[in-house]
Structures are given as structure tokens and as C-alpha cells.
Structure 1
Amino acid sequence: MSGKLIALTGATGFIGRHLLRALSERGYRVRVLLRRPVEVPEGASGAVVGDLARPMNMAAALTGVDAVVHSAGLAHAMSGAPEDDFRNSNTEATRKLADAAQRARVGRFVFLSSIRAQAGSSAPAPLSEADVPEPTDPYGRSKLAAEEALAETGLDWVALRPVLVYGAGVKGNMAALLKLARTPYPLPLASLAGRRSLVSVESLAGAVATALEAPGPLRRPLVVADPDPLTLPEMLAALRAGLGRGPGLLPCPVPLIGLACRATGREAAFDRLSGSLVARAEGLEALGWRPAQASRDGLAALARAGG
């Protein structure tokens, strides 16, 4: 790349750390926007301290910037009012940053949205960005509202909608799955047939680069997903293969698994385990994006590296 200057939010988070490294390796200069004074992350060209909820120092953060990559956001509610939490952190903060970017005449705004802006935790048919979005929870609604706020600006924007992301340092559902794979016991999960799309954080970083480099204007959402959706047993088998073990999976009637989950307060987990969410990255692939590796290979490598 030609040394273009990127303003990156969320650089200290799981995805943001990978984006910072990947963009720097591609020759971009990266200015990180930090919420509090900390040591400038390795790979950053500079840092500006500011709060997206109360836009401080936005003019300084965006001076001379060619593009913004906005990966900061709230994934879990912080209070008993999740709609407010998500709206403030995901929608309003994005709106304010976009307004500042427009005033600074930034060339492109890449927003890390989520597949949850498009659907709930499962979907009856494969998803693409051409589908009408139908988010089902406060998080997904806040991400969709942020996309709509971008559409109201004059920016050349793109909203990336990644499916479940995995990679070194991952937390949440994928970290729990990795922990489950590491247990020494056979798991009675072989009968779960729901398929789910995944994407590695390396592939997501490649999608961000594609969004930055694609000829414009874009002004649309793009799904980010590997082309090979996996069942939960296939995910566990890939993880255990990376650990040098066999799958260790046993069949069990799915209704019985559901009863056990409900009896232990894990009904939401069962819905995620048993349902399907398959997505197609048709728009990104048309722009030339390709995943860094197949999902099976990426999961095996993740487990082999220790997560």
C-alpha cells in the first residue's frame, strides 16, 4: 500500500489488535483512537485519546486521515437497560464519529457491524446482504441503526457484517467451545446437525483491507463469512484434531440435549448449538476477497496454537 493513514477505533480489543497488525503489515499508517491514556499499541503510527460516547479530540484524531476503520463497540450490556447501553455505545457513538469523519473529509468509513444486524442467532435459509435485515435483539438492532446512521451521511461507507469470528485471543462462545474441546471426555453432541458459518480474524482483516481498497463508492453492507459452514460436531472435531486427538463424539437424541440444557439454565446455548446460521459473502467475493483458510484448517490451527 501507499502509506495511507487509517484512524482505527477498538485497537486494544480482540479484533482491533489483529486489524492493527494486519493493516500495518500491508503498509498502512495507523492512528489509534484510545479511550484512556495507555501505551501506544505496537504497530500504531500514533494515538489520540478520546471517548466515542463523548466525542473529544475528534478533529485531532481525524486530521489528515484517508479512512476510518471503526471496530470499537459494545457486545454485552452493562446495565439493566440493554437497549440504552447498545444504542449509546454502538449507534450514537458511530453516528458521532461518522459526523466528525464527514467534517474531516475522510475518504472512506469502514464499520465493523455484525451478522446480528441482519438476523437472530439462527436463520432458516442462507443469508446474504441482499436480504431484508431482521435483527432480533438489542445488540443487533443497535448495529443496524448504526448502519442506517451511516447511510444518512455523505460518506463513502461500508458496513462489514461478520459471522462468529475465531482467532488467537478470542473470547465468548468460541472460547467456550475451545474449552469444551480441551476436556478429556467424550461429548454426547454428535447428533447436532445445525450448520454455522465462521470467519477467522485473519480473513476478517483481509475483508477490511478489501473494503478499504475497493473502488468506490460502496455505501452498503457486506457479509463476511468463510464459504464452508460447519456443524458443531465438525467444529469440535477440527479443534480436537489440532490438539492431536480424535473427535471423541457420541450420538445423543437432540431433544434430550435440549432438556439437559434447559434444566441447567442453558436454553439460549441450546438454541445456538442446535440452530443453523449460514451466510454467504457474495458482495465481498465480487470485490476480490477470499478467506485466509478453510474453517476446519483455521480451527485446528487455533487449537494447536493454544487459542
Structure 2
Amino acid sequence: MSAWHGTRALITGATGFIGSHLVRRLTELGARTHVVSRRPPEAEGRHVVDLTDAEAVAELVARVEPEVVFHLAGEVTGVRDPATVAPTLAGNLGATVNLLTALTGTPVRSVVLAGSVEEPRDGQAPGSPYAAAKAAATGYARMYHALWGLPVSVLRVAMVYGPGEPNLARLVPYVTRSLLRGQAPELTSGTRLITWVYVDDVVEAFVRAGANGDAAGHALDIGTPEPVSIRDTAELLAKIVGGPARPVYGAVAARPLDRAQRSDVEPAARVLGWRPVTSLEEGLRRTVDWHTSRL
């Protein structure tokens, strides 16, 4: 019998890309999933809650009494605009603090937060309001663990791709669908290095982090050891799709502070026994097949 059988698992961001895959996997393992959404309808196992409302979050935690919490909800944007500071602060840092506060002192056995590969390292300035809010949330998670013993960990997830990605403007679905339609996707110079990771591998990392308290207090990179340039990724997609269309590089300006992404997966291997198992080519083939079936 699965160790997850009957476990009350609360998942925020459950309707998002990673969240929907995670809920499906936890359900397969026998967990009693409680999903959080900002939109109705509310039904059994589904809770409509604004996570920026501290009182509503406290009521949610008291009602569900979760044993494991996965916090994936957030305001995700790479836009570099002062107007995005307030919403990313509230949607990422404020919501996270509300949840951590509500869980402190409860018998929850594991809390897993979705961090980001975009979080700055080694004294770098954050590259976007989103990156700044995510980095601050990681800092608060460490504080809640150190001061109040909350069993919280952070998985700093790299660039996730795979079937079911709802944001068709992101690189892999955009390039894939353009090529399948015989259109030339317009990209930056393509030199930026990206750390890709397949969605099923990410879900496995979350399941392992939530299974027990071994990850508590850690911030772990969930990615792949070797980054791949945007150009090489797009060319691999063009090879998989086939056809005459080819990406056009240099048609779009790069965003300020778009840095190379790198993930050190060794800590996750030691703490969780986790490593990515899906190669980029295999993951992209599965993704192309999924989009092909829906065009």
C-alpha cells in the first residue's frame, strides 16, 4: 500500500501546469487531495480561497488540517515593469507568509514550496520582481523552519516543460505550435542558457519532498545538470517536428538581466534521492506528440 494512502494533502496552485500534474500523481498514490483555487465552483476537496487574505488562509488550514502541504500558487511573470512589483509581492511573498503563519504550530509533517531557478545567487541583484519575491519567500521559509520548527522546504524549480502547459506563449509550446503550423517562430539571439526539466521529473521531486520531513530546512535545485541554449532547444524542436519552417533568431530583443540558468542537482540527490531521468530530446518528443494531437 502506498505511504500516501489516505494522507490529507493540500495543494495550492493545483490548476496550474505543475499543480495539475502533481494532483493527478497524488491521487494515483491514494492521497486525499484538497486543492485551492481562486475561482469557483467550490466542491468536495476543492476550496476557493484568496491566499493574500491571512484570515481566509487560517480558516482553510483549520478546516482541512493538512498533513502535507504543497504551495505552488503564485503570480508568475517575467515582465520587468515597476507595475508588477506589488502584485508579485502580494501573490508570491504575502501569500506564502500567510500560509506559513497558518501552518506554524499545527501537526503538519511536511510543507513544500515551489521556488524558482530565477532566484538570485551569490549576491546578484534579482533579475525581475518575480525573482525578488521568490527569493524573499525562500528566506522566510528558512526563518520559519529555524525559529519555529516548521518542516518546510523549498524546491527551486528550473524551466519546466511538457504536455499540458497552459501558457502557450512560453518558449517550448510557442516554438512547437508555430513549427507544426509551418510558421517561423521569432526568437531572441538564442544564446541564453536554459536549465530545462520535464514536468514528470518535477512532480517526482515534490512527491519525495513531501513524503517525510527529510527535506525540511533545505532549498534544493530541481533541474538538470547541463543547461541548453535557446537556439539549441529550438533547433531540436525543429528537428523533431520536421517540415520547412525554421526559427528566426534576433527578431525579439532579450529582456534585461536575463542570465544563464544553472541548477546544482547534487543536494537534491543527497536529500531526496532524486535526479532527473527524462532527457531533453525524449521530453520534447512527448511534448510535440501532445501538441500534435491537439492541433
Superposition TM-score tier, normalisation by shorter sequence? 0.7 to 0.9
Listed one character per residue, the Cα deviations across residues 174-221 of structure 1 (whole Å, up to 9, x for unaligned) are 2323234335367898x8554321011111111101211255262121
Matches within 5 A, 1:219-238: 219-238=217-236
- Does structure 1 residue 156 correspond to structure 2 residue 154? no
The offset of 1:302, in angstroms, is: 0.2
Contact 1:52 1:97 in 2 (8 A): yes
- Indicate how the Cα distance of structure 1 residues 25 and 186 shifts in structure 2: closer, same or farther if over 3 A, else same: same
Aligned length: 277
Partner of 1:304: 289
Partner SS for 1:117:
coil
Q: What's the RMSD between the two structures over aligned residues?
A: 3.0
In structure 2, the residue matched to 1:17 is 20
What's the counterpart of residue 276 of structure 1?
260
1:99-123 CA distance string (max 9 Å, x none): 101143312110011111235xxxx
Aligned to 1:118, what secondary structure does the other structure show?
coil
Contact 2:11 2:72 in 1 (8 A): yes
Task: Summarize the Cα distance change of 1:187–1:117 in structure 2 as closer, same or farther, 3 Å threshold.
Answer: closer
The CA deviation at 1:240 is: 3.1
Q: 1:124: which partner in 2?
A: none
Output the CA distance in 2 between the equivalents of 1:15 and 1:36. Answer: 18
Q: Is the 8 A contact 1:242 1:302 kept in 2?
A: no
**Preserved CA contact (<8 Å) 1:188 1:249:** no
SS of 1:33's partner is strand
Q: 1:222 and 1:181, CA in 2 relative to 1: closer, same or farther beyond 3 A? A: farther
Larger mean CA deviation between 164-173 and 85-94 belongs to 164-173
CA distance in 1, matches of 2:280, 2:213: 28
In structure 2, what is the Cα distance between the partners aligned to 1:187 and 1:37? 36
**Would the aligned equivalents of 1:117 and 1:133 in 2 still touch at CA under 8 Å?**
no
Select 2:118's aligned residue among 108, 116, 119. Answer: 116
Q: Is the 8 A contact 2:153 2:215 kept in 1?
A: no
Secondary structure of the 2:135 match is helix
Paired residues for 1:5-154 under 5 Å: 5-38=8-41, 40=43, 46-55=45-54, 56=56, 58-62=58-62, 63-76=64-77, 81-118=83-120, 131=122, 134-153=125-144, 154=148
SS of equivalent residue, structure 1 residue 306: helix
Q: Do the aligned partners of 2:22 and 2:203 also contact (CA within 8 Å) in 1?
A: yes
Shift of 1:133: 6.2
Q: Secondary structure at the match of 1:289?
A: coil
Moved over 4 A (4+): 131-134, 185-189, 191-194, 246-250
Given that 2:110 and 2:212 are in contact with CA atoms closer than 8 Å, whether structure 1 keeps it comes out as no
Distance 1:16 1:215 in 2: 21
Structure 1's unaligned 5+ residue stretches are: 120-130
Q: Which range is displaced more, 225-234 or 93-102?
A: 225-234
What amino acid sits opposite 1:58 in the alignment?
A
State the one-letter code of the partner of 2:160.
V
Partner Cα distance (1:267, 1:66) in 2: 43
Residues 161, 181 of structure 1: alpha-carbon distance in 2 compared, 3 angstrom cutoff:
farther
Distance 1:246 1:177 in 2: 13
- CA displacement at 1:290 relative to structure 2: 2.3
Distance change (3 Å), C-alpha of 1:192 and 1:37: closer
Aligned residues of 1:237 and 1:246 also touching (Cα < 8 A): no
Amino acid of the residue matched to residue 88 of structure 1? A
Which residue of the partner structure matches residue 166 of structure 1?
Answer: 161
> What letter corresponds to residue 93 of structure 1 in structure 2?
A
Distance 1:278 1:168 in 2: 23
| TM-score (normalised: structure 2) | 0.81
Identity %: 26
Q: CA deviation at 1:246?
A: 6.6
Q: How does 1:177-256 map to 2 (within 5 A)?
A: 177-182=175-180, 184=182, 192-216=190-214, 218-243=216-241, 245=242
- Secondary structure of the 1:37 match is coil
Cα 1:137/1:25, change in 2 over 3 Å: same
